[in-house]
């Protein structure tokens, strides 16, 4: 069985494309029953990781109070209204008591003591739609409102823990597909989040605003995690084995077949890096299992 390392997307999103002058030009066939063969060719290998998940709206971002006091919303601003990052959504009013005279010649007046009102602006940390906005007394750091950012992102659970090594230096972008919808568009890597309570790890990637998306859709994203330039390769169909050690079937000029060992390196969804093989040899493109028995 040929090795199968790496995977692309279905529906027109299959990662890096075949370079011009690919294997079709290097395959040798004959009408005399001679099997199709190919020789080692140098090309770029794209190591990828494929993650599946769902589309979600962004979580609302709380707007914290900078200090304790009475929060007063900006006049005319209401829940459901859009705001931009940095917009003032209200003020924190604090009553600072006035200085008390050293001696009071007459009884103190009834009612609250005189004070000076200080006001501190509260601004939106992100752009989006306002919610939870109303006058209230707040403690320092307590939320006075929330802002719902526009758009969607893909939440992609990391099922295989070893895949986390691929995100030590996270890729900036990936190629994505929304199952049943658009495919082949670029998403931007956002973050990798560890959920302490469950031990789950999720990768988040933002979906472009011009891509039609809805919460709950299934998303598939392929990230290119490494590129090896101009390495000797063969198609996956021609190689049997696992990363490190493998075999190919060589076709001699007289038509005899023999098995040759190779060292297997990086792979993508079409090609695998092989070393230890003379590039002048003809390798059977689609060997049978019985070919490896000889």
pLDDT of residue 67: 92
177/12 Cα distance (integer angstroms): 9
pLDDT in tens, 104-148: 555 656 666 678 889 999 999 999 999 999 999 999 999 999 999
Judged on CB neighbours under 10 Å (0-12, 13-18, 19+), 69 is: buried
pLDDT of residue 111: 63
pLDDT of residue 125: 95
Give the CA distances from residue 94 to residues 64, 91, 97, 196, in Å, rounded to whole numbers and listed in that order: 16, 10, 10, 38
Whether pLDDT at 262 is above 80: yes
pLDDT of residue 101: 58
3-state secondary structure of 22: coil
What does the block give as tokens for 84?
């931009």
pLDDT in tens, 143-157: 999 999 999 999 999
pLDDT in tens, 16-47: 444 433 445 566 655 567 899 999 999 999 88
- Decide: 255 and 249 in contact? Cβ < 8 Å: no
Per 3-state DSSP, the chain is made up of helix, strand and coil in percentages (nearest 5) of: 5, 50, 45
Give the CA distances from residue 31 to residues 28, 35, 36, 251, 288, in Å, rounded to whole numbers and listed in that order: 11, 9, 10, 16, 19
Whether pLDDT at 102 is above 70: no
Which is more confident, 60 or 5? 60
Q: Any idea which of 81-85, 98-102, 170-174, 264-268 has the lowest mean pLDDT?
A: 98-102
Whether pLDDT at 222 is above 90: yes
| Nearest residue to 266 via CA among 19, 117, 48, 86 | 48
Q: Which residues pair with 43 in a beta bridge?
A: 231
- Decide: 64 and 142 in contact? Cβ < 8 Å: yes
| Whole-model pTM over 0.95 | no
Computed over every residue of the chain, the mean pLDDT equals: 86
pLDDT grade for 244, boundaries at 50, 70 and 90: confident
> In percent, how much of the chain has pLDDT > 90?
65
pLDDT grade for 231, boundaries at 50, 70 and 90: very high
- Decide: 127 and 82 in contact? Cβ < 8 Å: yes
Whether pLDDT at 103 is above 70: no
Average pLDDT over residues 243-270: 90
User: Which residues lie closer than 8 Å to 94 by C-beta, 6 or more apart?
Assistant: 67, 68, 69, 70, 117, 118, 119, 120
pLDDT of residue 135: 96
Helix segments in the chain, DSSP class H: 23-26
What does the block give as tokens for 222?
């392929």
pLDDT of residue 26: 67
Whether pLDDT at 259 is above 60: yes
Average pLDDT over residues 206-216: 95
Give the CA distances from residue 207 to residues 185, 202, 213, 214, 224, in Å, rounded to whole numbers and listed in that order: 9, 16, 8, 11, 17
pLDDT of residue 113: 66
pLDDT of residue 292: 86
* DSSP symbols for 146-211: EEE-SSEEEEEE--SGGGGGGGSS--SEEEEEETTS-EEEEEEEEEEEE-TTT--EEEEEEPPTTS
What does the block give as tokens for 26?
């290097």
> In percent, how much of the chain has pLDDT > 70?
83
Q: Any idea which of 23-37, 50-64, 159-173, 267-281 has the lowest mean pLDDT?
A: 23-37
- Decide: 130 and 83 in contact? Cβ < 8 Å: yes
């Amino acid at each position: 069985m040929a090795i199968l390392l790496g995977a692309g997307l279905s529906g027109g999103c299959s990662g890096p494309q075949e370079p011009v002058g690919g294997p079709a030009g290097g395959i040798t066939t004959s009408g005399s029953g001679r099997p199709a063969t190919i020789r080692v060719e140098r090309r770029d290998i794209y190591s990828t990781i494929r993650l599946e998940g769902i589309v979600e709206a962004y979580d609302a971002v709380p707007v914290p109070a900078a200090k304790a006091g009475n929060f007063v919303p900006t006049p005319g601003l209401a829940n459901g209204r859009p705001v931009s990052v940095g917009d003032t959504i209200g003020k924190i009013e604090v009553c600072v008591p006035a200085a008390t005279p050293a001696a009071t010649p007459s009884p103190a007046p009834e009612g609250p003591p005189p004070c000076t009102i200080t006001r501190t602006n509260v601004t939106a940390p992100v752009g989006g739609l306002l919610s939870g906005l109303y006058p209230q007394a707040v403690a320092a750091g307590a939320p006075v409102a929330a802002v719902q950012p526009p758009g969607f992102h893909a939440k992609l659970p990391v099922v295989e823990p070893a895949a986390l090594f691929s995100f030590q230096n996270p890729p900036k972008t990936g190629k994505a597909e929304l199952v049943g919808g658009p495919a082949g568009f670029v998403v931007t890597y956002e973050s990798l989040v560890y959920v302490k309570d469950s031990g789950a790890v999720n990768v988040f990637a933002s979906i472009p605003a011009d891509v039609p998306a809805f919460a709950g859709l299934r998303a598939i994203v392929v990230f290119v995690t490494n590129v090896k330039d101009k390495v000797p390769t063969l198609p996956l169909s021609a190689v049997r084995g696992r990363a490190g050690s493998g075999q190919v079937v060589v076709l001699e000029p007289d038509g005899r077949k023999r098995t040759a060992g190779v060292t297997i390196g990086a792979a993508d969804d079409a090609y695998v890096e092989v070393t230890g093989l003379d590039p002048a040899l003809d390798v059977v493109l689609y060997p049978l299992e019985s070919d490896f028995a000889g």
